[in-house]
Amino acid sequence: MAGGSAIRGSRVGAGPMGEKERGETAPRQRVSFFCANGHEVKPVFAEEAVVPDTWDCPKCGFPAGRQSEAPPSALRNEPYKTHLAYVKERRSDEDGAALLDEALQKLKARRGE
DSSP β-ladder status, 54-56 and 63-65: antiparallel
Instruction: Please write the tens of the pLDDT for every residue from 39-72.
Output: 999 999 999 999 999 999 999 889 999 998 888 8
Q: Kindly tell me if the per-residue pLDDT of 76 is higher than 60.
A: yes
Amino acid 8: pLDDT:
65
pTM above 0.75, yes or no: no
The pLDDT mean for the chain works out to: 84
Amino acid at 67: Q
User: Is the Cβ–Cβ distance between 40 and 32 less than 8 Å?
Assistant: yes
Tell me which residue of 94, 43, 97 sits closest to 66, measured CA to CA.
Answer: 43
- d(C-alpha 75, C-alpha 7), whole Å: 49
Range list of β-strands (E), 39-98:
40-41, 44-46, 54-56, 63-65
Mean pLDDT for 90-111 is 91
Q: Where are the alpha helices (DSSP H) in 1-113?
A: 19-22, 83-90, 93-111
Q: What's the Rg (C-alpha) of the chain?
A: 30
